[in-house]
Amino acid sequence: MHQNSNYTLLDGSLLLNNGKVDKYLFSGGYCQNTDSTLAFNYFNQDHLGNNREVVDSNGKVVQINNYYPFGTPFYDEANTTNASLQPFKYNGKELDMMHGLNTYDYGARQYYSALPVWDRVDPLAEKDRDISPYVYCANNPVNLIDPDGKKVVFVNGYLGFGSPNGGATYWNGSNSSFVKGAQSAFNDYATPFFTNYDFEYSTSSSNLREFQGYQYAKQNYKALTKGMKPGIDKFNFVSHSMGGAFAEGMIRYMSEHGWETENAVFLNAWEPTQIINKQEHNRIDATCTNDPIQWLSKPLFGEPDIPSSDDAIRIKSEESVTYIHRDLIDGNSKTLWNIIKELLKK
């Protein structure tokens, strides 16, 4: 819960004014409640996600915002229209003007654009020791934004075949080259979420795993969405092997509860042709072409491809048969994420 003067923000989407519903946020705008009448307003944003204009349902511009490079709004009438209409401005973040502090709420930290500094150190400061832990986006606000607010979800596969442990261990640790590659490709350095689910090989079907993923997301909803704002922040999913259909179920549950998934990467998916319920914006099907384990689940006719994929990555592994199934995690991760980076630039 976040309080701003008379306003209270609940669950990142419902804005109350003195106990009454004032606004409901959704992706790309908000719904205003005035005397029990609902009015829809939409954001026009620039390349940094700054809300430059607010447009009502009739196409009329009802708010104009312009900013200094580090995010402080212009307050002169020549560059600003109706500044107090709504508080979501620079990078789409809420400008908290309580007590005259005028800081932006980024979830994990408050940002004071006038200096400009964060109110506390960067939790990933040790990765960039040559940059002050209080600096905003490496002192390059014209091209960069702070990505805090997204979240990468890593969905483990079967805990066997050389992968005895789930959680971060399945991906060689939370700071492994694979995890860092994913964060770099998605430009998302928020603390990731790692599933730890033990599939039963003998009773596992694609439909069952999809259902299990749905239930898992339901049970872990608070942990998955911690620090995120509905309608603003989005998920990225990375799954492996049996985790493919499981991730699909998780994405479906999150979608039903208003959360968007930007990218979903499926690595050497088990029963790939059964992963058919696309909810994410961008689906990437990545496979080692000579993976003997994945080919055990291929259809009698046709290739083991995931339907409705936006992109397919095919890499031949040079590893021995024992290690091919995990090669995109253990060996070829740099190549994989470099390819995905280029795909996401399109």
Condensed to tens digits (0 to 9), the pLDDT of residues 134-156 reads 888 878 887 776 655 468 999 99
pLDDT, one tens digit per residue, over 285-325 is 999 999 988 878 776 666 778 988 999 999 999 998 888 99
pLDDT at 128 over 70: no
The confidence score (pLDDT) of residue 9 equals 41
Annotated domain spans of the chain: 2-139, 151-344
Query: Which residue did the predictor score with more confidence, 181 or 301?
Result: 181
Average of per-residue pLDDT across 198-214: 82
Q: How far apart are CA 308 and CA 326, in angstroms?
A: 24
Buried b or exposed e, range 7-17, using 16+ CB within 10 angstroms? bbbeebbebbe
User: How confident is the model over 23-66, as pLDDT tens digits?
Assistant: 788 778 998 887 777 889 999 998 888 999 999 999 999 999 99
Count the Cβ atoms, other than its own, within 10 Å of residue 325. Answer: 26
Could you give the 3-state DSSP secondary structure of residue 263? strand
What is residue 65's predicted lDDT score, i.e. its pLDDT? 94
Q: Is the pLDDT of residue 127 over 70?
A: no
Residue 181, pLDDT score: 93
Q: Is the pLDDT of residue 19 over 80?
A: no
What is the structure's pLDDT at 336?
A: 94
CATH number of 151-344: 3.40.50.1820
Please give the structure tokens belonging to residue 107: 């979830």
Distance between CA atoms of residues 38 and 31, nearest Å: 6
Q: Provide mean pLDDT across the span 164-193.
A: 90
Share of the chain above pLDDT 70, in %: 87
| Of the candidates 40, 45, 79, 78, the residue with the CA atom closest to the CA atom of residue 60 | 40
Residue 72 DSSP one-character state: P
- Using pLDDT thresholds of 50, 70 and 90, give the confidence band for residue 161: low
| Predicted TM-score (pTM) of this structure | 0.61
Decide which of 306 and 13 is more confident.
306
Q: Is the separation of the CB atoms in 51 and 58 below 8 Å?
A: no
The pLDDT value recorded for residue 8 is 42
Condensed to tens digits (0 to 9), the pLDDT of residues 74-122 reads 887 777 788 888 999 998 899 998 888 899 988 778 899 999 998 888 7
The residue whose two tokens read 């689910």 is: 197
**DSSP code per residue over 139-185:** G-TTT----BTBEEEEE---S-TT----GGGGGT-TTSHHHHHHHHH
Consecutive H or E run containing 126: none
Which pLDDT score, from 0 to 100, does residue 334 have? Answer: 92
φ, ψ (nearest 5 deg) of residue 47: -70, -15
pLDDT band at 132 (very low <50, low <70, confident <90, very high): confident
Confidence (pLDDT) at 191: 84
Strands (E), the chain: 2-4, 7-10, 14-17, 20-26, 29-34, 37-45, 51-56, 61-64, 94-96, 103-105, 110-112, 117-118, 151-155, 193-194, 234-240, 260-267, 282-288, 311-315
State the pLDDT confidence band at 133, using cuts at 50, 70 and 90.
confident
